[in-house]
Structure 1
Amino acid sequence: MKNILYNKLAFLIVIAAISLGGCKKMFDVPPEDKLDIKNAYKTVADADAAVIGVYGKFQGLAKQYLLLNEVRADLLDVTNNADPYLKQLNTHSVTVDNPYADPRSFYEVILNCNDVLKNFNVMNEKHLMSVDDYQKRYSDIVSLRCFLYLQLGIQYGAVPYVTDALVNVNDLKDESLFPKLSLDLLLDKLIADMSAIPYISSYSYPTGSSLVIATDGSNTQRMFINKYYMLGELQLWKGNYLEAARNYKNVMETEINNTNTNFMFNTFHVNYNDGTYGNGVLYTDGGTNYGGLHSESALSYSTTYGFKSMFCLGNTAANWNHEWIWAMPYNSGFNPVNPFVELFANTGAGKYMLKPSQTTIDAWASNPQANGIPYDARGKLSYAVSNGQPVVMKYIYNYDPLVPLTRNGMWYLWRGAGLHLHYAEAANRDGKGKLAWALLNTGIANTFADASLASSSNTAAYLATMITPYEEPYKFNAQYIASNTAYRGPYHKNAGVRGRSGVVALNVSYQTDMTGLEAKLVDEGGLELAFEGNRWADLVRVARRRNDPSFLAERVYQKLLRDGNPEASTVRAKLMSMDNWYLPFKWK
């Protein structure tokens, strides 16, 4: 595992050069065949190289991560071009030789993490880097390892938990030495790990760090894991809803103290489109999404503003940074190669192996907008019909089939809408159904403001209703008076996930219907976050919490049924046993 420092990983593209083809070296790392491990881990530059190496190795998991989390669920279906192993994932009939189900690749990265952490400890003991540099790098790698272990627990159910710097990943085959932990016990370990890290912040490395670099139109800051989000995920899975909400709220408030109000008001707040900033559905014929009528043909496909732009912009653009919490770019000049073009595109280098499921298409079609259009326009901005075939577009908007070998793009991991949905899931389970409803539907001010006071001379009373009546982490200030810029609460532009894209709000009765609202939050995840790698985890988490296998099984069944798969009933029966949700934990 020690050679992780010197692997010429393609992740160097995000440090050294992005899509314009430049190649500015960040570190002078000698050729792999001339390195001596005795000279490693001597300086902060060595530590930075180790961090970059781990993330480069991690980026190689993107394809497997997406396949396990989407093909096994209900939003993606396989095409006739899919290989037999992909079809196994789709019908939950995975054999032990299925390469997509091999846990080895996850453990290879974990062992890289363990080796790096061991050497960081040595560097710290020998004072080879400052305490601050050590704490940030150590905490980052622990957090990434927790993400990997959570994924293993979700996919395999029970897995070995190892923090030693093993030399050979195959040592983990010996269960007598490395017994498997159940998902619940694994969560306890991971929460303890995250709670013990010496540095926690939304940004792993603040501006000014040697690992935060802007070069050739790209910035590295959002390429590293968000620790608060990671801890929020662990607490949500464990059922510690207050703690989950607290950590998710910390992510929402990443820029809350920024004196630049464009950052303070917009970062991770899921706001309405204001003419300059916004990532919701919009139209080009005037009016708003919130009642003004539009022509369907006026739907905006802008690559710089609105919903589609999230999947087109580079990571230095304001609208991109207002939404994306964690994403990693690809550059065609470096390895690893962007795997998503091959999976989704049906032109150029694409093999068109995956497509939107019919259930997903139907869900968008039956979700009307408040402006009178009878379908959810997020569907039109998430997939397209090309050459008569439905094509997932989120990963390939910047792909040009006339230049098939240029496969720049992004691996998208976490974003603001997902943050709000998971926060709402925690808040709902913690008895804050009205707040959860607000974040899902019409936003904080629209839900909590007392409309009867809007024309009152008692401005203070009206403004007071725009602050949620809860203690932290459920307190939000959405105060707003159009005529007075002094009254601009940090969340005054919050529109709700559905409201941001103009779809009809759910009935307010869901504010007091905990399980009903929870199901709607999961449904919304399918509409908003389709194909982004969240789906299987969301289905498993909620079904486990409810002890209701049908919550997951029925959704997968409907996918297979509507796509005409003859195995639909067999798969549903199989998934009614929770044991069958998990992949076989074996490797060659």
Structure 2
Amino acid sequence: MKKILFIKMSVLIAIMAITLGGCKKVFEVLPEDKLDINNAYKNVADADAAVIGIYGKFQNLAKQYVLLNEVRADLLDVTNNADPYLKQLNTHSVTGDNPYADPRPFYEVILNCNDVLKNFNIMNEKHLMSVDDYQKRYSDILTLRCFLYLQLGIQYGSVPYVTDALSSVDDLKNESLFPKLNLDALLDKLIADMKQMPYISSYSYPTGSSLSITTDGSNTQRMFINKYYMLGELQLWKGNYLEAAKNYKNVMETEATNTNTNSMFNTFHVNYNDGTYGNGVSYTDGGTNYGGLHSESALSYSITYGFKSMFCLSNTAANWNHEWIWAMPYNPGFNPTNPFIELFANTGAGKYMLKPAQTAIDAWASNPQGNGIPYDARGKLSYTTVNGQPVVMKYIYNYDPLVPLTRNGMWYLWRGAGLHLHYAEAANRDGKGKLAWALLNTGIANTFADATLASSTNTAAYLASMITPYEEPYRFNAQYIASNTAYRGPYHKNAGVRGRSGVVAINTSYQTDMTGLESKLIDEGSLELAFEGNRWADLVRVARRRNDPSFLAERVYQKLLKDGNSEASTVRAKLMNIENWYLPFKWK
């Protein structure tokens, strides 16, 4: 396997622009700009080049990541244009030669991570960069490696765990040297790895970094993996719910000390639309998500404000940054090209191989809004009908079929709504069902405020009721007095995931129904996060936790059944055996 090549400081900014545009592989830089391994790892500029090189390799996994996590689940279906290997994913009949099931691409990035981590340690020992620079870069690459291993564990069940800087992926074929770990053992290893990390905040906090810049119209801040979120994911999978909640809460508090109140109040807080900021469903005929009847024709399709805008805006826009925790942008001028155009579009360069499953369409259709409209408008903003065919739009809103070679877009990984759903999943399992219900439904203030005190002169008691009655990490301040800015808690605009989109809240009885509420949280993921690469993992995690294969099998069965797939019953029977959830682990 090729080692990562390194870039001189004179071309680093250009490579940053390339990476932001499409993460062009570092090996594709002209030969005269390459440093051989003996001249690399000399200073922080070389370290930055190594980090960018890793993320350039990582972005090549986007297509495989989305396919494995969505086609295997219940929201995304294949079309008649799909190749045989995609159809295998859809019916859980994957053969050893299926390229989408090949673990090699993941391990190529992992071994690059191992090489970089080894050399960062050497640089630190030789004092070739500051301790602060070393800690930030080392921790980032270690966290990305943990993400890759978690994905391998989810998809394959048992995988080799290697931290050595091997020269080739082929070295891993010797299972006597690199025995496989099952998912539980792997989680233990990954949690231990992250707990010994020297740095856990983002690059730009608190003092900034040479890797956090704006260039070529994009900002790098959300390009790098969020370490708190990753540790939260590992703890959630392991069943350490309090620890998971602590880490997720740290992500929610990313801008807690920002003196810019727009950032402090809005970033990762899943807020209602306030007229200036907001990523919820909105209408153009007045009113809010909560009040007044709206005309269906007034649904806002704005690309600058509201739900759709999350998938259209530049990553320098405030609304975009308030929601997205991790996303990788594509630039049409550089490799790798955006793989999602080919998969989803049915015009221009699209091959239309994937479409929204009927189960997803039906779920939106049967989820009424509080304004009297009988369906969930997030569906209309996630897919549309083009040339008589249902088309997933989240990845292709910025694609113009009249300019088929211009394939800009994003690989979306983590965002605020998913953060709140996973935090709520942990809180619910940790006995905080009312808080979990609030974050899923109508928000903190609407759930906890004592309405009997609203018209009372006892303002202090009313304000106190807007602070959740728990210790951290379950304490949220949603205080609000319109006439007094001193009484505006950081979560006073929190609307809940369903509330932000204006759909009807589920019954409050779920506040004391742990498994029922957990199922509702997973259902909400299908409505809010459809097609974004989360679904298979969510189904597997909850089915494993409950030791209930039917939780997963029934959902996949319903997808295939509604599509008229003759293998629906066979697939359901197969997925009732947990061993059949996992892909065959075979080297190409």
SS at match of 2:326: strand
SS at match of 2:390: strand
Shift of 1:332: 0.9
* Contact 1:2-1:37 within 8 A present in 2 as well: no
Alignment-mate amino acid for residue 333 of structure 1: G
| Residue equivalent to 1:550 | 550
Shift of 1:74: 0.2
* Contact 2:6-2:46 within 8 A present in 1 as well: no
SS at match of 1:59: helix
CA distance in 2, matches of 1:6, 1:43: 11
| Residue equivalent to 2:462 | 462
Alignment-mate amino acid for residue 349 of structure 1: A
What TM-score comes out, normalization by structure 1 length? 0.97
| Residue equivalent to 1:296 | 296
CA distance in 2, matches of 1:152, 1:18: 25
Q: Percent identity?
A: 88
Can you list the C-alpha shifts for 1:337-359, whole angstroms capped at 9, x where unaligned? 10000000000000000000000
Aligned pairs for 1:126-141 (under 5 A) are 126-141=126-141
| Residue equivalent to 2:366 | 366
Q: 1:247 to 1:392 in 2, by over 3 A?
A: same
| Residue equivalent to 2:387 | 387
* Contact 2:343-2:353 within 8 A present in 1 as well: yes
| Residue equivalent to 1:315 | 315
* Contact 1:420-1:439 within 8 A present in 2 as well: yes
SS at match of 1:223: coil
User: Structure 1 stretch 61-70 or stretch 288-297: which is displaced more?
Assistant: 288-297
Aligned pairs for 1:510-529 (under 5 A) are 510-529=510-529
The Cα RMSD (Å) is 2.0
* Contact 1:97-1:587 within 8 A present in 2 as well: no
Runs of 4+ in 1 over 6 A off after TM superposition: 10-14, 18-21, 26-30
CA distance in 2, matches of 1:343, 1:486: 50
* Contact 1:437-1:517 within 8 A present in 2 as well: yes
| Residue equivalent to 2:256 | 256
Aligned residues: 584
Can you list the C-alpha shifts for 1:346-381, whole angstroms capped at 9, x where unaligned? 000000000000000000000000000000000000
Aligned pairs for 1:46-61 (under 5 A) are 46-61=46-61
* Contact 1:206-1:212 within 8 A present in 2 as well: no
Alignment-mate amino acid for residue 585 of structure 1: F
SS at match of 1:77: strand
SS at match of 1:16: helix
CA distance in 2, matches of 1:18, 1:4: 15
Q: 1:573 to 1:301 in 2, by over 3 A?
A: same
Alignment-mate amino acid for residue 548 of structure 2: D
Shift of 1:517: 0.2
CA distance in 1, matches of 2:107, 2:380: 38
Alignment-mate amino acid for residue 546 of structure 1: R
* Contact 1:11-1:56 within 8 A present in 2 as well: no
Can you list the C-alpha shifts for 1:363-415, whole angstroms capped at 9, x where unaligned? 00000000000000000000000000000000000000000000000000000
| Residue equivalent to 1:96 | 96
| Residue equivalent to 1:271 | 271
SS at match of 1:390: strand
Alignment-mate amino acid for residue 160 of structure 1: P
CA distance in 2, matches of 1:205, 1:287: 38
| Residue equivalent to 1:107 | 107
Shift of 1:35: 3.7
What TM-score comes out, normalization by structure 2 length? 0.97
Can you list the C-alpha shifts for 1:85-124, whole angstroms capped at 9, x where unaligned? 0000000000000000000000000000000000000100
CA distance in 1, matches of 2:521, 2:575: 22
CA distance in 2, matches of 1:340, 1:357: 17
SS at match of 2:95: coil
CA distance in 2, matches of 1:13, 1:377: 41
* Contact 2:19-2:52 within 8 A present in 1 as well: no
Q: 1:14 to 1:280 in 2, by over 3 A?
A: farther
Is 1:171 the counterpart of 2:171? The answer is yes
Can you list the C-alpha shifts for 1:534-583, whole angstroms capped at 9, x where unaligned? 00000000000000000000000000000110000000000000000000
* Contact 1:162-1:178 within 8 A present in 2 as well: yes
Q: 1:472 to 1:34 in 2, by over 3 A?
A: closer
Is 1:237 the counterpart of 2:237? The answer is yes
| Residue equivalent to 1:201 | 201
Shift of 1:291: 2.8
* Contact 1:443-1:494 within 8 A present in 2 as well: yes
Alignment-mate amino acid for residue 272 of structure 2: Y
Aligned pairs for 1:430-445 (under 5 A) are 430-445=430-445
CA distance in 1, matches of 2:204, 2:105: 24
* Contact 1:369-1:504 within 8 A present in 2 as well: yes
Alignment-mate amino acid for residue 409 of structure 2: G
Aligned pairs for 1:335-354 (under 5 A) are 335-354=335-354
Shift of 1:428: 0.1
Structure 2 residues not aligned, in runs of 5+: none
CA distance in 1, matches of 2:267, 2:385: 32
Alignment-mate amino acid for residue 5 of structure 2: L
Shift of 1:216: 2.7
